[in-house]
Structure 1
Amino acid sequence: MTALRERKYGQWFRGADVDGDGFITRRDVRMMSERYVAARGIAPDSDEARPLLGRMDGFWADVIAPMDRNGDGKVDLREMVEGFRQALTDPARYPEQIGPVADCFFDLVDLDGNGRIDRAEFQLMFDAVAAVPGGDCAEVFAALDLDGSGGLDRDEFHRAVLEFFYGDDPAAAANHLFGRLAD
């Protein structure tokens, strides 16, 4: 694994460790879910919220929990980086490994359901949920909007997520998808 990918995974980990205790737990994923629901302005027990919460529970069970090598119910940075290192070896496997989670996230961020993530949706979700600073959101969004349409379609979003998890280009805008990487 390259040092760049390790830094990106660390950035992702810091965002997923919602309570900041140095571990990703089922509770962190639940708190992330609750933030998504709150950012969407819907009631946590609503018909609209239940599927979103269920998908995030699946994200814990299918993606994060298997990285818990010592069985303590929490994943530390080392376990997560090792899990990604072992699993994310071939970009051709993106559709089965990361694609479904990226689709779920796209649907969560596309607040108005029009099939595009506009800058306001991008900033709201990344600021409210992942605590990515507003200036970083605007800059990253502009770089990811490859066609200059003012919105990220599903394909542009998938390209960004693919580059983030599998890419090694130090100049790629997607490196900063979950917050600006420190130099």
Structure 2
Amino acid sequence: MTALQDLKYGQWFRGADVDGDGFITQQDVRMMSERYIAARGTAPDSPTSRLLTEGMDGFWTNVIAPMDQDGDGKVDLREMTEGFRRVLTDAALYPEQIEPVTNCFFDLVDLNGDGKIDQAEFQQMFNSVAGVPGEDCATVFAALDRDASGALDRAEFHQAVTEFFYGNDPDAPANHLFGRITG
């Protein structure tokens, strides 16, 4: 793992620690999905909401909970970073490790259901839910829209998430997907 990945994972950790107590717990993971559902205005019992909640529960069980080295039911930044070092070693494993949750988030961010995420949808979700400032959202969105179509299709979105979690390129636009990293 590189220093850049440490910075990105730290940024992701700060967003995932929804209650700000310095740990990621199953409750934080559930609150993350609840924030996305609420920002979209989707009913908690809708099929998309249920899929997201199930995906996030699986993300907790299969990715985050195994990082809990001391068995206290919560993961601190050190445990998460070490866990990512162990687990996120090969982008070829993305389909099993991250893709199911990413698909749910894509569907939730795609507010009008047209199969694309436009800049307004991207900004609404990443600003209101992840706390990414609007000007950062616009800059990141423009960089991620590789075909300059004005929207991110599912492939571009997956490429961004893959780049964020597995990439080492300091100039990659997806480095700032969950907020501007500095370092």
TM-score (norm: length of structure 1): 0.94
Unaligned runs of 5+ residues in structure 2 are none
Tell me which residue corresponds to 2:22: 22
Instruction: Check 1:114–1:79 CA distance in 2 against 1; reply closer, same or farther (3 A cut).
Output: same
Distance 2:142 2:91 in 1: 24
Task: Report the Cα offset of residue 128 of structure 1.
Answer: 1.6
Among all aligned residue pairs of Structure 1 and Structure 2, give the percentage whose two residues are the same amino acid: 74
Partner-residue secondary structure (3-state), 1:18? coil
The offset of 1:45, in angstroms, is 4.0
Q: What are the equivalent positions in structure 2 for 1:30-69 lying under 5 Å apart? A: 30-46=30-46, 48-69=48-69
Q: How many residues align?
A: 183
**In structure 2, distance between residues paired with 1:88 and 1:26:** 20
SS at match of 1:152: strand
Give distance in 2, aligned partners of 1:50 and 1:157.
Answer: 21
Measured after TM superposition, the shift of residue 27 of structure 1 is 1.1
Unpaired runs of 5+ in structure 1?
none
Q: Give the whole-Å Cα distance in 1 for the aligned partners of 2:8 and 2:48.
A: 32
Give the SS at the match of 1:179. coil
- 1:179 alignment counterpart: 179
CA distance in 2, matches of 1:34, 1:167: 28
Deviations 1:3-52 (A, max 9, x none): 00111000000000011110001111121121111111123345553333
SS in 1 for 2:152: strand
Alpha-carbon distance in structure 1 between the residues aligned to 2:102 and 2:47: 22
**TM-score when normalising by structure 2:** 0.94
Against the structure 1 CA distance between its residues 89 and 47, is the aligned structure 2 distance closer, same or farther, given a 3 Å change threshold? closer
**Structure 2 match to 1:117:** 117
